[in-house]
Each structure stands twice: as structure tokens, then as C-alpha cells.
């Protein structure tokens, strides 16, 4: 999504081929793992308290298992509070924290399923291994490495604590479910990546003008309003650019050639301004450029004159001899705090230029 106006042709979906997928979507991955950490810690905190309460009345579990649930309550309570009080830090390190937290829970389950229940195969631990694909969203090799490590640790503890015949059952069950867990985990990770990628593709389609590749009108307005809401925002300048006599071009050469003109003018606009400026198509033959942190009228004049010159000197693919010009209305409002204020002033300047033989620019500077 084009949230910083640095690229006009896209957001994350536009760079899928150029960057590592994991790096590209790392923020989204961290957010999903944070949510999983939050809900798992809350769930285990609740279950730990519930099991301890039930056990205090009915004495269902042995004395060793009680300490496992006490560990659940303690670690889950700490993790849940960290998610609330240190949200940003946990968000930035969600994957690592989730691995550490789950490793502790899994080790406690391994101890419970081996040393505290020596005479039977551990069904609960097998269930935990099977649930792993739901809990983690990370690189596939790291997920599989974690899953296999937990499985091997469980098998080692099982052979240390149980009769070999019982431990062998644990071994077969653990390897079987670990294999299934790894396959399902790799598949679900691919689906999660696809889900994120699809989200950004949809956002890109909504926020990008399909013909020119510039930002859409609504996306540009949101960015400008966001800029003015920022405490660190400076003075902004809005350019409204209109292609002169574009209707005549459509009538003479046809709408298909008119579309080619719009595409090529969009390229000229993109190349005439810094990458950090917002560039959008307002609709029809009107374009918008929003320059950030600009107070110097001379600088604005330089960009306006450069754009006029670049359009006039442009070589258009379907007609090399076509002479094209643009009219530009510019607002440099030092007290404006919204897109609407800038737009009204720039639009007024645009129509003054169009009423004065076009092919020029005029600046509102108050």
C-alpha cells in the first residue's frame, strides 16, 4: 500500500518479485504472532487457574502436575501482562517471544507427560505437537526445526522416564504427528502468506489508478489529511494539473490514444517531482501533486516551470509531432490544515490560468 507516497505504482504487492517474502511482510507476521501470543497466554492462564481450582476440590491430578499448572499460571500471567504493558516491544519481537513462551509450555508438558505419568503413553503431548501449525507463523524451516526439536526432546525424556515398551509407543506417535504437523504447518504458512499478499494486492488496486499507475484520488486525499494530522508536518503545496484541450485530442485521435496521452503525461509528472511527493490522478485529464515541507515559492516555481517544459518537449508515442501543454493551479497555504482548503485555492488558480490562454501556472501564496 502506498502509505508514504514514495512509490506511485504500488505498495507491497508491487514488490513481491523484488524482495524476500518474509522480510516484505514482517510487520504483518509480527502482528499475527502477537495476537496468537496474547490469546494463547490468556487461554493458558484461564485453564491453569481452572485446573488448579478443580484439583483443589476433587484431587484429580497428581502432586507433580499441580506444579506444571502453577508454571502455566505464572508464565502466562507474566506474558499476558507484557502483551498489555509492553505492546510495542512485544510486537517488534513477537516471533522470538512466542517461540520462548511456547518452548517453556512444551517443556512443562513433556515433563508432565513423562515423569509424572510413567505408566501410560502421553496423549496430551501428542495433541500439543499436532496443534503447533495453528500457533506459529514463521519461516517454514524454523517452524519445522522447532517442531522436530520438541518432538525429539519428548522422545528422549520418554525413554529416560518410562518403560521402553511405553516409550516406544510415545516415539511412534510423536514422530507420526510431528511429520503430519510439519506438512500441515508448511502448507498453512503458505496460505497465511497468500492471505497477506492478497490483502495488499486488493489495497493496491483500491489505492492505485489502474490506467496511469499513480495514486487514486481517495488514496491521495487520505495521505494529505494524514500528513496534516502529524505533529511534525510542515507547510505543504498542492498542484492541480490539467491537460490543455484534452477533449479535442480525444475527438481527433480517439479515446484509446487519449488514454496513451494520460499514461505518458503521468510518467512525465512522476519524473518531474521527488519520489517522496504524492502524485495522483484526480479523474479525467486532471492530476494532483502534493509537495511536503515546502515554504519557498521559488522552489515551487522551478518545479512548475520544469513540468510545463517537460510536457511541451515530450515525445508522444502515437504522434511525435503532437504539441501538448498543461495548466497548473498551485496552492501554497501557510495556514491550511486540510486537503479541502488547499484544493479550493489550487482549483481557483487553475481556472484563472485556463482563462488566460492556458499553458502556464499560477500560485496562491498567503
Predicted TM-score (pTM) of the model is 0.72
pLDDT at 233: 77
- Residue 290 burial (C-beta neighbours within 10 Å; 0-12, 13-18, 19+): buried
Q: Is the dihedral of CA 126, 128, 130, 132 positive or negative?
A: negative
Q: List domains and CATH numbers for the chain.
A: 12-206 (no CATH), 217-365 (3.30.70.270)
Query: From the first residue on, what is the mean pLDDT of each consecutive set of 10 residues in the chain (366 residues)?
Result: 44 45 88 96 94 87 84 95 95 96 95 90 89 93 96 96 94 95 95 91 85 92 89 86 90 86 93 92 94 88 94 75 89 83 92 90 85
Residues 6+ apart with CB under 8 A from 265: 243, 287, 311, 314, 324, 326
- Assess whether 285 carries a catalytic annotation: yes
292, 266, 262, 294: which is closest to 280 by C-alpha? Answer: 266
Q: Which of 96, 51, 98 is nearest to 71 (CA)?
A: 51
Q: How far, in Å, CA of 94 to CA of 35, rounded?
A: 9
Pick from 193, 331, 318: nearest CA to 257? 318
Helix or strand run (H / E) with residue 117: none
Give residue 187's pLDDT.
95
Read off φ and ψ for residue 323, nearest 5 degrees: -105, 110
Is 273:215 a contact under the CB 8 Å cutoff?
no
Give me the residue label for grid cell 525429539: 152
Residue 319: what pLDDT? 67
**pLDDT score of 318:** 64
C-alpha cell at 99: 517461540
Give me the pLDDT at residue 175, please.
94
**pLDDT for the residue 11:** 43
CB 275 within 8 A of CB 6: yes
Kindly name the residue from 147, 170, 285, 347 that is annotated as catalytic. 285
pLDDT for 268? 94
* Residue 254 confidence (pLDDT): 86
> Cα–Cα distance between 138 and 97 in angstroms, integer?
12
Q: State the cell numbers at 174.
A: 510423536
Amino acid at each position: 500500500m502506498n502509505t508514504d507516497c514514495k512509490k506511485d505504482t504500488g505498495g507491497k504487492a508491487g514488490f513481491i518479485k523484488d524482495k524476500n517474502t518474509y522480510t516484505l511482510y514482517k510487520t504483518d507476521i509480527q502482528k499475527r504472532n502477537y495476537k496468537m501470543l496474547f490469546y494463547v497466554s490468556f487461554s493458558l492462564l484461564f485453564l491453569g487457574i481452572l485446573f488448579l481450582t478443580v484439583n483443589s476440590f476433587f484431587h484429580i491430578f497428581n502432586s507433580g502436575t499441580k506444579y506444571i499448572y502453577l508454571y502455566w499460571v505464572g508464565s502466562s500471567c507474566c506474558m499476558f501482562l507484557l502483551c498489555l504493558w509492553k505492546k510495542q516491544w512485544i510486537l517488534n519481537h513477537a516471533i522470538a517471544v512466542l517461540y520462548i513462551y511456547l518452548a517453556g509450555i512444551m517443556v512443562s508438558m513433556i515433563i508432565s507427560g513423562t515423569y509424572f505419568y510413567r505408566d501410560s503413553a502421553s496423549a496430551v503431548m501428542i495433541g500439543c505437537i499436532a496443534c503447533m501449525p495453528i500457533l506459529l507463523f514463521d519461516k517454514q524451516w524454523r517452524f519445522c526445526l522447532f517442531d522436530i526439536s520438541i518432538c525429539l526432546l519428548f522422545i528422549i525424556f520418554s525413554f529416560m522416564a518410562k518403560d521402553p515398551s511405553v516409550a516406544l509407543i510415545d516415539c511412534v506417535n510423536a514422530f507420526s504427528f510431528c511429520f503430519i504437523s510439519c506438512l500441515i504447518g508448511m502448507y498453512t504458512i503458505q496460505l497465511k502468506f497468500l492471505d497477506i499478499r492478497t490483502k495488499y494486492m486488493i489495497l493496491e488496486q483500491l489505492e492505485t489508478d489502474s490506467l496511469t499507475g499513480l495514486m487514486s484520488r481517495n488514496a491521495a486525499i487520505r495521505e494529505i489529511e494524514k500528513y496534516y494530522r502529524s505533529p511534525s508536518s510542515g507547510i505543504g503545496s498542492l498542484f492541480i494539473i490539467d491537460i490543455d484541450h484534452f477533449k479535442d485530442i480525444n475527438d481527433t485521435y480517439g479515446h484509446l490514444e487519449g488514454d496513451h496521452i494520460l499514461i505518458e503525461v503521468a510518467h512525465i509528472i512522476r519524473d518531474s517531482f521527488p519520489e517522496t511527493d504524492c502524485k495522483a490522478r484526480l479523474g479525467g485529464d486532471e492530476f494532483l501533486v502534493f509537495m511536503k515541507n515546502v515554504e519557498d515559492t521559488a522552489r515551487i516555481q522551478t518545479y512548475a516551470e520544469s513540468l510545463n517544459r517537460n510536457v511541451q518537449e515530450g515525445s508522444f508515442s502515437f504522434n511525435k509531432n503532437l504539441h501538448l501543454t498543461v495548466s497548473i493551479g498551485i496552492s501554497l497555504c501557510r495556514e491550511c490544515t486540510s486537503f479541502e482548503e488547499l484544493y479550493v485555492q489550487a482549483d481557483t488558480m487553475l481556472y484563472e490560468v485556463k482563462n488566460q490562454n492556458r499553458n502556464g501556472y499560477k500560485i496562491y501564496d498567503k
